[in-house]
Amino acid sequence: MSPSRTLPNFSLAELASHNTTKSCYVTMGTRVFDVTDFIESHPGGEDLVLEYGGMDVTDILKDEVSHTHSQAAYEILEDSLVGFLATEKVIGAAAGSTHPDNILPLPATEEGAKELKQNGVVNRVPVFASTGMSSEEDLVKETDLVTDYKAHKFLDLNKPLLMQMWFGGFSKDFYLEQVHRPRHYKGGASAPLFGNFLEPLTKTAWWVVPTIWLPLVAYGTYIARAGCSSLLEEGAYWFLGLFLWTLVEYILHRFLFHLDKYLPDNRVALTLHFLLHGIHHYLPMDKLRLVMPPTLFLALATPFWKLAHFVFFWNWSIATSVFCGGIFGYICYDLTHYFLHHKNLPSYWRELKKYHLQHHFMDYENGFGVTSRFWDGVFGTEIAPPPVKTL
């Protein structure tokens, strides 16, 4: 048994003061947990954690409407135990009362923190075989880098990943099994990909996407106006492009990013797959590898520019309007993708968030729609509801 470790008692006033990004505490009953380090990594965004800063989270963790949290969420709390709440019972006992209601908490030992596992969650959380995950909280449970590498002999997250992929000699089956079992890099940072001066080129902040592409979409829409018979005609073709993007989004995600079964079993194909989309499934909460780098997007967008002008060959302006509508759809897609991973959102996007994160932790072979589930419904690739939790 671990030696005793006396933990402090906190008053309600002290607890309530810990509700900022610099210091955030929550409680479950009389147990107090410091979740400051978890704020930025929370799948629902930091606002949702701060909303309950200094408060009891017992009910929200079990709330089916919000999201029933998995074993991983409780384990994160377990590792963050910092003390106990000084309720009236505790204060009374500390003052020397002998009334049977005035009961102090059990001795604060490291072993005692394991009582979190006695909340009945452990035996009723399904684990999905394809990913080894239970729910979205598993996506942000920090991976022990040394233990993970020793156990799986896949990629050492302490070292640059690209050369490990190239020289790893992984079989296709082993690679696909490992890359779809998400890890979470320490401190929410980005794992090294090149490990040299090229590293910054692999990272893109979400705001780069609208900053670069929105002005170009606006300019393209403006110059296309001259060749259209009316504003209504241009608008109709622009929205046609926006609608077509939703189909392109689905096709790219399903048949390019997830062409898993059709990958050649060689290091060139596996490394390219890892760079294109595998790294996102391997490290799904990496904030700087969630949107497409401008250079990669330019390479992917160029064929669609040519395709638009081939299909709508009779009018350059109409083709440009369709293309601009499509690029606006892409901007919405990339921003939606980022916020689904990292922010708490209004009701419509909250359902999309659940759906997309299920694609990561539950069933990566379905659920390819990001901005909409429409095409998943059309092509029969919707994610089946998770199994009902039973005691």
- Does pLDDT of 67 surpass 90? no
* Cβ atoms within 10 Å of 18's Cβ, excluding its own: 19
Q: Is 273 annotated as a binding residue?
A: no
- Does pLDDT of 9 surpass 80? no
Q: DSSP label at 385?
A: P
Secondary element (H or E) of residue 161: helix 161-167
Percent of the chain topping pLDDT 90: 50
Q: Is 180 annotated as a binding residue?
A: no
Q: Is 359 annotated as a binding residue?
A: yes
DSSP assignment of 225-291: GGGSS-HHHHHHHHHHHHHHHHHHHHHIIIIIIT-GGG--SSHHHHHHHIIIIIHHHHSTT-GGGSS
Q: DSSP label at 40?
A: G
What is the pLDDT confidence band of residue 266, given thresholds at 50, 70 and 90? very high
Question: What global pTM score does this model have?
Answer: 0.69
Q: Is 76 exposed, middle or buried (0-12, 13-18, 19+ CB in 10 A)?
A: buried
Nearest C-alpha neighbor of 29 from the set 96, 106, 97 = 106
Q: Is 69 annotated as a binding residue?
A: yes
Q: Is 258 annotated as a binding residue?
A: yes
Q: Are 27 and 103 in contact (CB under 8 A)?
A: no
Nearest C-alpha neighbor of 296 from the set 338, 263, 257, 251 = 257
Percent of the chain topping pLDDT 70: 83
Q: Is 56 exposed, middle or buried (0-12, 13-18, 19+ CB in 10 A)?
A: middle
What is the pLDDT confidence band of residue 64, given thresholds at 50, 70 and 90? low
pLDDT at 2: 37
Residues 6+ apart with CB under 8 A from 269: 172, 263
Q: Regarding the domain delimited by 9-125, which CATH topology (the fold level of the hierarchy) does it fall under?
A: Flavocytochrome B2; Chain A, domain 1 (3.10.120)
Specify the higher pLDDT residue, 243 or 350: 243
What is the pLDDT confidence band of residue 122, given thresholds at 50, 70 and 90? very low
Tell me how far apart the alpha carbons of residues 125 and 358 are, in angstroms, rounded to a whole number: 14
Q: Where are the beta strands (DSSP E) in 69-160?
A: 81-85
Q: Is 42 annotated as a binding residue?
A: yes
Q: How many distinct helices (H) and strands (E) make up the chain?
A: 16, 4
Q: Are 221 and 324 in contact (CB under 8 A)?
A: yes
Please write the tens of the pLDDT for every residue from 146-201.
888 988 899 999 999 999 999 999 999 999 999 999 999 887 789 999 988 889 88
Tell me how far apart the alpha carbons of residues 12 and 24 are, in angstroms, rounded to a whole number: 14
Q: What is the overall mean pLDDT for the chain?
A: 82
Give the pLDDT mean for 246-253.
Answer: 96
Residues forming a β-bridge with 84: 9, 31
Residues forming a β-bridge with 27: 32, 56
Every domain of the chain and the residues it spans: 9-125, 145-379
Q: DSSP label at 137?
A: G
Phi, psi dihedral angles at 124 (to 5 degrees): -125, 15
Q: Is 360 annotated as a binding residue?
A: yes
Q: Are strands 31-34 and 81-85 parallel, antiparallel or unpaired?
A: antiparallel
Q: Are strands 81-85 and 9-10 parallel, antiparallel or unpaired?
A: parallel
DSSP assignment of 340-356: HHH----HHHHHHHHHH
Tell me how far apart the alpha carbons of residues 369 and 362 are, in angstroms, rounded to a whole number: 15
- Does pLDDT of 277 surpass 80? yes
Please write the tens of the pLDDT for every residue from 337-390.
999 998 877 878 888 998 999 999 899 999 999 999 999 999 999 998 876 544
For residue 83, give the 3-state DSSP assignment.
strand
Give the pLDDT mean for 40-50.
Answer: 76
pLDDT at 106: 33
